[in-house]
Structure 1
Amino acid sequence: MIGGRKLLTNAHCVEHDTQVKVKRRGDDTKYVAKVLARGIDCDIALLSVESDDFWKDVEPLRFGRLPHLQDAVTVVGYPLGGDTISVTKGVVSRIEVTSYAHGSSDLLGIQIDAAINPGNSGGPAFNDQGECIGVAFQVYRSDEAENIGYVIPTTVVSHFLTDYERNGKYTGFPCLGVLLQKLENPALRTCLKVQSNEGILVRRVEPTADANNVLKEGDVIVSFDDVHVGCEGTVPFRSSERIAFRFLISQKFAGDTAELGIIREGTLMKAKVVLNPRVHLVPYHIDGGQPSYLIIAGLVFTPLSEPLIDEECEDSIGLKLLTKARYSLARFKGEQIVILSQVLANEVNIGYEDMSNQQVLKFNGARIKNIHHLAHLVDSCKDRYLCFEFEDNYIAVLEREESAAASSCILRDYGIPAERSSDLLKPYVDSVGDGDDQPLDREFGDSPVSNFEIGIDGLLWA
C-alpha cells in the first residue's frame, strides 16, 4: 500500500488476470482491484481499489534509501507452507545490475539471504527503521547455492511510478540499443587508438534505435553524460563502488537524451542520442495477454513470440525460427515474424493440413510486415486467388471466393467465435513504407539479441 489508494505487486502476479481481488490481513472480505499499469521489464504492477472500507485506517508504506551491504532486511509475504503471513530476516548480500527473469531485462537489484519462496512475490522488504527498501520478486535456485533471493529496489519502483504519473501509462525503461564489448585487453585498446584505460566497444547497433543514426560499429563509448565508463563496462557508484554501465541508462526515461563521449578512429567527439524502450522482433510477452491471430480458410496465422515458443516446445517450432528468435533484430518498428501456426482441416485447404509453424513471407507477391499488414492485404485483395509464399520456397494457393464461403463453416465446426483477434479489426496504418529496399531473406545476426542468451562475459546489450 503506497498511498493514493494504490497497491504495488509484481507484474508476473497479475500477468493473465481477468479479475484481481485483494484482502487485508485479519479481514475475510475480498475487494476487487483494478490493474492500472504493468511494468513487464521491471516486474512491477500498480493496482487501485475503489472501496472505502478497504482503505479504512490504512497507513501507506514509507520508502527508504538504497541499503548498503550487510544492512538488515525483513521480507513479508504469503509463501508456500501455510496460509498466514510469513516474516523472514536476513541481510543485504549484493547490490548490482541484475537480470530480471520475467522481463528479460537488466536493472538494479538487491540480493539478500532472507528466504524468498513462491508466494513472497510482490511482498515488501523492510529495513530496521520499518521503511520499505523494495519488493521481493525472484529467487536463484541451484544445487550449488542457497539463500539467494532478489528484491526490486525503491529506485526502480520510483522510476516506474514516475513514468506512470508523467505519461498516464507505463512506457518502460529505455535502452541505448547497442551490443557492447569490454576493452580490458591493452592490445585491443591500442588497436582502437584508445589512450586511457576506459571505454567499451560498439559491436552492433539495433536498426530501430536512435543510436543507429549516431553510432557506428567500431566506436568506443568513453563517457555517458560526462560519467566516465571503464574498460570493463562499469561506472562509479556511490562513494567507493562500481556498477554496470547499463545502470546509467536505467536512470533515464523513454524519450530522454543522453550525451555520449565516443572515440571514432582515434578522434574524441561528443554525440547526443535519444533513449527509447527496446524493440524486440520476437517479444518476450504479449501486450494485453491475448495473441493476435488471423484465420483464412482454416489457415491460422499469428506472430511468433516467446510464449508461443514455450507452448509449442522448441522441437515443434524448428531450428530456423528459433535461430531468428535468438539472433535477428527488427529492421523497422512494428515488424513481426508471421507464421502459419496450424491448419484447421477442411475441403477448401486439402493438401495443406499438415503445415504448421512456418513463416509466411509474401502474400500475392507483397512482402508481409506484420500480422495486421497481412490482414489488410487479404481484406483488400480482389484477385481470384490468395497466394501465400512461405520460407523454404513452399507455396499455398486458395480460391478467394471459395475461401470466404468456407470460413464461417470452419469457425462453426471448430467452435471459434471470430476469424481474427479484436486488434485486427482496427484500420491498418502503414507507418514503415514499403520496405522494398530491405532484403527479403533475413540474415541471422552474429550474436544473441538478449543478455540472457549471451554466453561470453565480455559482451552485453545496453
Structure 2
Amino acid sequence: MIGDGKLLTNAHCVEHDTQVKVKRRGDDTKYVAKVLARGIECDMALLSVESTEFWERAEPLHFGRLPRLQDPVTVVGYPLGGDTISVTKGVVSRIEVTSYAHGSSDLLGIQIDAAINPGNSGGPAFNDQGECVGVAFQVFRSDEVENIGYVIPTTVVSHFLEDYERNGKYTGFPCLGVLLQKLENPALRACLGVPSNEGVLVRRVEPTSDASNVLKEGDVIVSFDGIRVGCEGTVPFRSTERIAFRYLISQKFAGDVAELGIVRAGSFTKLKAVLNPRVHLVPYHIEGGQPSYLIVAGLVFTPLSDPLIEEECEDQIGLKLLTKARYSLAKFKGEQIVILSQVLANEVNIGYEDMSNEQASIFMMTLVLKLNGTRIKNIHHLAYLVDSCKDKYLVFEFEDNYLAVLEREAACSASARILKDYGIPAERSPDLSEPYVDSLGVNHPVEQHEFGDGPVSNSEFGFEGLLWV
C-alpha cells in the first residue's frame, strides 16, 4: 500500500489478468483491484482499489534510501501460498545492474540472502527503521549456489511511479541503442586516439535509436552528461563504488536528452542524443495480451514473439528462425517478423500443409517475406496488402524460396467455410480491422538487405567485453 488508493506489486503477478482481487491481512473480504499500469522492464505494476472500506485504518509504506552492503533487510510475503504472512531476514549482499528476467532488461537491483520463494513476489523488503527499501521479485536457483534473492530498489520503483504520474501511463525505461566494447587494452585505446584510461567503443548502433543520427561505429564514448565513463564500461556510484554505465541511462525518462562526450578519429567532441525505449523486433510481451493474427484461406499468419517461441517446441520454430529472433535488430519502428504459424487444411490450400518441412511429420513455422512482390513490413501491412489486392492470384513468397499461390476469389469464398469448420470466430484479430498507417510512408520500399538483415552474432552477446546499453 503506497497511499492515494494505490497498491504496488510485480508485473508478472498480474500478467494476462482478467480480474484482480486483493485482501488485507486478517480480513476475509476480497476487493476488486484495477491494474493502472504495468512496467514490463522493471517488473512493476500499479493497482487501484476504489472501495473505501479496504483503506480504513490503512497506513501507506514509506520508501527508504538505497541500502548499503550488509544492511539488514526483512522480506514479507506469502511464499508457496499459505494463509498467513511469512517474514524472512537477511542482509544486502550486493547492489549492481541486474538482469530482470520478466522484462529481459538490465536495471539496478539489490541482491539479498534472505529467503525468497514463489509467493514472495510483489512483497516489500524493509530496513531496520521499518522503511520499504524495495520489492521482492526474483530468485536465482542453481545446484551450485543458494540464498540469492533479488529486490527491486526504491530508485527503480520511484522511476516507475514518476513515469506514470508524468504521462498518465507507463512509457518505459529508455536506452541509448548501442553495442559497446570495453577499452581495457592500452594498444586499442592508443589506436583509437584515446589519451587516457577511459571510454567504451561503439561497435554497433541500433537503426531505430536516435543515436543512429549522431553516433558512428568506431566512436568512443568517454562521458555521459559530464560523468566520465571508465574503460571497463563503469561510472562512479556513491562514494567509493563503481557501477555499469547502463545505470546512468536507466535514470533518464523517455524523451530525455543526454549529452555524450566522444572521441572520433582522435578528436574530442560533444553530441546530444534523445533517449527512448528500445524497439524490439521480436517482443518479449504482447501488448494487450492477445496476439495479432490473419487467416487467408486457411493460412494462419502471426508476428513472431517471445511467448510464441516459449509455447512452441524448437522443432516447430526451427534454428534459422530462432537465430533471426534472437540476434536480428529492427530496422524501423513497427517492423515485425511475420510467420506462417499453421495451415488449416482445406481443398483451397491443398499441398501447403507441410510446405516448410516436407520430410518431417510436424509443421514447421516459416517466415513470409513478400506478397505479390511487395516486401512485408508487419502483420498489419500484410492484412492491408491482402485487402487491397486486385490481382487474380495471391502470391506468397517465403524464406528458403518457397512459393504459395492462391486464387484470390477462391480464397475469399473459402474463408467463411474454413472459419466455420474450425470454430474460429473471425479471420483476423480486432487490431487488424483498424485502418493501416504506414510508419515509413506508403511509397517507401523495404529492400531485402534492410529487412532483419543485421544479426548480432552469438559471440557478441556472450563475450564479456561487449555490452548493450
Q: Smaller-chain TM-score range?
A: over 0.9
Q: Is the 8 A contact 2:375 2:446 kept in 1?
A: no
Name the counterpart of 2:445: 436
Map of 2:302 onto structure 1: 302
Please give the alpha-carbon distance, in whole angstroms, between the structure 1 residues aligned to 2:215 and 2:446: 22
1:46-57 equivalent positions in 2, closer than 5 A: 46-57=46-57
Q: Which residue of 2 aligns with 1:321?
A: 321
Question: Structure 1 residue 131: deviation in Å?
Answer: 0.4
Deviations 1:203-238 (A, max 9, x none): 000000000011000100000000000000000001
Q: SS at the partner of 2:288?
A: helix
Residue 467 (structure 2) aligns with: 460
Who is 2:90 aligned against?
90
Q: State whether residues 40 and 102 of structure 1, in contact with CA within 8 Å, keep that contact through their aligned partners in structure 2.
A: yes
Aligned residues: 459
- In 1, the alpha carbon distance for the partners of 2:262 and 2:102 equals 33
The answer to whether the Cα contact below 8 Å between 1:323 and 1:444 also exists between their aligned partners in 2 is: no
**Conservation of the 8 A alpha-carbon contact between 1:324 and 1:444:** no
Equivalent in the alignment of 2:399: 391
Q: Which residue of 2 aligns with 1:219?
A: 219
Secondary structure, in 3 states, of the residue corresponding to 1:288? coil
- Quote the residue 2:12 is aligned against: 12
Q: 1:377 aligns with which of 385, 396, 403?
A: 385
2:43 is the counterpart of 1:43: yes
Q: Given the superposition, is the C-alpha separation of residues 343 and 102 from structure 1 closer, same or farther in structure 2, using an over 3 Å criterion?
A: same
Structure-to-structure mapping, 1:112-261, within 5 angstroms? 112-261=112-261
Deviation (angstroms), 1:43: 0.3
Aligned to 2:462, what secondary structure does the other structure show?
A: coil
Match for 1:238: what amino acid?
R
Asked whether the equivalents of residues 330 and 452 of structure 2 are also in contact (C-alpha less than 8 Å), the reply is: no
Tell me, yes or no, if the aligned pair for 2:331 and 2:452 is still in contact at 8 Å.
Answer: no
Per the alignment, residue 34 of structure 1 pairs with: 34
The answer as to whether partners of 1:326 and 1:448 remain within 8 angstroms in 2 is no
Distance, in Å, in 2 between the alignment partners of 1:295 and 1:81 is 42
Supply the distance in 1 between the matched residues of 2:11 and 2:294 (Cα, whole angstroms). Answer: 28
Match of 2:73, SS state, is strand
Structure 1 counterpart of 2:300, one-letter code: V
Give the residue type in structure 2 aligned to 1:36: L
Structure 2 residue 370 is matched with structure 1 residue 362: yes
Choose from 412, 423, 446 the match for 1:415: 423
Q: What is the CA deviation profile of residues 345-378 of structure 1, one whole-angstrom value per residue up to 9, with x for unaligned ones?
A: 0111111112441111011111100000000111
For the 8 Å contact 2:21–2:31, the answer to whether it is kept is yes
Aligned partner letter, 1:148 = I
**Does the alignment pair 1:334 with 2:334?**
yes
Residues 41, 172 of structure 2: 8 Å contact kept:
yes
Cα distance in 2 for partners of 1:179, 1:315 equals 31
After the TM superposition, which residues 42-81 of structure 1 pair with which residues of structure 2 at under 5 Å, given as runs?
42-80=42-80
| Closer, same or farther: CA 122–442 of 1 in aligned 2, 3 Å | closer
AA aligned to 1:41 is E
CA RMSD of aligned residues (A): 1.3
Which amino acid is 2:59 matched to?
E
Distance 2:158 2:392 in 1: 57
SS of 1:191 mapped into structure 2: helix
For 2:407 and 2:165, the matched residues in 1 are separated by 52
Report SS of the residue matched to 1:37.
strand
Superposed displacement of residue 187, structure 1: 1.0
Distance 2:366 2:71 in 1: 53
Deviation at 1:446, TM superposition (A): 3.8
Q: CA separation in 2, counterparts of 1:203 and 1:447?
A: 12
Structure 1 pair 3/81, CA: closer, same or farther in 2 (3 Å)? closer
Deviation at 1:83, TM superposition (A): 2.6
What is the TM-score when the length of structure 1 is the normalising length?
A: 0.97
In the TM superposition, residue 399 of structure 1 has moved relative to its aligned partner by 1.2
User: Do the aligned partners of residues 349 and 293 (structure 1) sit closer, same or farther apart at CA in structure 2, a change above 3 Å counting?
Assistant: same
Which stretch of structure 1 is more off in the superposition, 88-97 or 318-327? Answer: 318-327
Structure 2 contact 301–341 (Cα < 8 Å) conserved: yes
Equivalent residues of 1:177, 1:206 under 8 A apart: yes
Cα separation, partners in 2 of 1:81 and 1:279, compared to 1, 3 Å: closer
1:312 equivalent in alignment to 2:327: no
User: For residues 405 and 33 of structure 2, what CA distance do their matches in structure 1 show?
Assistant: 49
Deviation digits for residues 259-308 of structure 1, max 9, x if unmatched?
00000010000000000000011111111111100011110000011111
Distance in 2 separating the partners of 1:169 and 1:96: 27
TM-score, normalised to structure 2's length?
Answer: 0.96
AA matched with 2:385 = L
Aligned residue type for 1:230: G
1:96/1:243 contact within 8 Å kept: yes
1:41-97: per-residue Cα shift (whole Å, max 9, x none)? Answer: 000001111111111111110000000001010000001163311000000000000
Q: Which of 159-168 and 404-413 deviates more? A: 404-413
- State the secondary structure of the residue aligned to 2:448: coil
- String of CA shifts for 1:98-152, please: whole Å, max 9, x gaps: 0001100000000000000000000000000100001000001111110000000
Is the 8 Å Cα contact of residues 81 and 119 (structure 2) preserved in structure 1? no
Equivalent in the alignment of 1:345: 345
Gaps of 5+ in 2: 356-363
Aligned residue for 1:288? Answer: 288
Q: Which amino acid aligns with 2:141?
A: R
Q: Can you give the 5+ residue segments of structure 1 that lack an aligned partner in the other structure?
A: none
Which residue number in structure 2 is paired with residue 403 of structure 1? 411
Paired-residue identity, %: 82
1:438, distance to aligned residue in structure 2 (A): 3.1
Letter in 1 for 2:338: V
> Contact 1:227 / 1:235 at 8 angstroms: preserved in 2?
yes
Structure 1 residues 253 and 442, CA gap change in structure 2 (3 angstroms): closer
